[in-house]
Amino acid sequence: MLAKVTDEMDPFLTKPQVEESEASRLSIVVEGGIGAPAFGRNTAFVKLEGVGKSFGSHTVLHDINLSVPAGDVLAIIGPSGSGKSTLLRCINFIERPDRGSVTVGGITVRSEQTDGARQIDLLRRQLGMVFQSFNLFPHMTVLRNVTLAQERVLRRSPAEAKDVAMQLLKRVGLADKADQYPSRCSGGQQQRIAIARALALDPKVMLFDEPTSSLDPELGLEVLAVMRELASSGMTMIVVTHEMGFAKNVSDHTLIMADGRSIEYGPSKEVILNPQTERARKFLGAVSDR
């Protein structure tokens, strides 16, 4: 049974339905949607090959291979210390991988390249990141947080940057907070602002590093709602999370990691409800027993 692909160019359509074949390791590019560029079929938008990372003698990532198609929402789950965050941070080179290569949208950077600054910059231009601790700039207003990088990196005019910023703040439901300082906003609000700040640069892929782990369950819901809306608008997303609900119901694929290795990968519902490996079963069992 081959995958059926709908080929819509309307970016605000909900995500096209894709049926996967039995071999869950096959990834097919879906075109259309905000997260997808005009790309050839059968090419992954984000690809990690042989990525490894060690801190001193401690190896945190062992030979990770990953392909994420455009428009896909990938959830990365696993026990603490499994290397999930490190993996995510290797994608935009906030951590430098010691081995392997990272490809985003056709730009490849290998770990051995010592002068890849230009390449890394091009890589990062396509990626937006949302952090567990929000990392908003505390000495600027919310609006300035969202406009600064637009003006300095994309060279947009202040007026244009402000327009885009207000649109995005409205989209995440915080237009009224534009002239306030981040410290006056709740954690959930700060995280939504952080999402707006990342989206303002028109990234092709959004990376989320445990976005709700610092939040009360209530505040986490607001953020998850924004992420759900983002996913349905077609954005390519890679989300490291503990939120099983998100992984099961919103993400298309799930990667389970443990001890620095990828243990299982496949369509989310299959992986979470019917894990194939012992290790994955143990982790998911522990989660569902809480």
Q: How far is the CB of 181 from another protein (least distance, A)?
A: 13
Could you tell me which residues come within 8 angstroms of residue 125 by beta carbon, excluding any fewer than 6 positions away? 153, 201, 203
Looking at the Cβ atoms of 152 and 170, the one nearer to another protein is 152
Distance between CA 176 and CA 167 in Å, rounded? Answer: 12
Sequence-distant (6+) residues with CB within 8 A of 24 are 265, 266, 267, 270, 271
Where are the alpha helices (H) located in the chain, listed in sequence order? 84-91, 117-125, 142-153, 158-171, 187-199, 217-232, 244-249, 268-273, 278-288
Q: Is 136 in the site for another protein (CB under 8 A)?
A: yes
Q: Which is nearer to another protein, 70 or 206 (CB)?
A: 206
CB of 267 to another protein, least distance (A): 29
27-41 residues labelled b (16+ CB within 10 A) or e (exposed): bbbbbbbbbbeebee
Q: Among 32-40, 146-154, 219-227, 276-284, which window interacts with another protein (CB under 8 A)?
A: 146-154
**Interacting positions 185-224 with another protein (CB under 8 A):** 197-198, 201
Which residues, in sequence order, are CB contacts of 256 under 8 Å at separation 6+? 77, 78, 262, 263, 264, 265, 271, 275, 279, 280, 283, 284
Asked if residue 135 binds another protein (CB under 8 A), the reply is yes
Which DSSP letter does residue 274 get? Answer: S
Output 133 or 274, the one with its CB closest to another protein. Answer: 133
Assess 284 for contact with another protein (CB under 8 A).
no
Q: Nearer Cβ to another protein, position 226 or 256?
A: 226
Interface with another protein in residues 74-93 (CB under 8 A): 92-93
Determine which residue in the list 5, 28, 107, 149 makes contact with another protein, applying CB under 8 A. 149
Whose Cβ is closer to another protein: residue 9's or residue 153's? 153
In whole angstroms, the minimum distance from the beta carbon of 251 to another protein comes to 21
Per residue, what are the HEC states of 190-225?
A: HHHHHHHHHHCCCCCEEEEECCCCCCCHHHHHHHHH
For position 94 contacting another protein by CB under 8 A, the verdict is: yes
Residue number with CB closer to another protein (41 or 139): 139
Residue 127 in the binding site for another protein (CB under 8 A): yes
Stretch that binds another protein, among 76-84, 102-110, 129-137, 281-289 (CB under 8 A): 129-137
**Could you tell me the two tokens for 73?**
């929402």
Provide the residue type at 77 as one letter: I
Binds another protein by CB under 8 A, chosen from 3, 6, 42, 137: 137
Taking the CA of residue 157 as centre, how many other CA atoms within 13 Å lie in the half-sphere pointing to its CB?
3
Nearest distance in Å: CB 124, another protein? 5
Footprint on this chain of another protein (rule: CB under 8 A): 92-94, 121, 124-125, 127-129, 131, 133-139, 148-149, 152-153, 197-198, 201
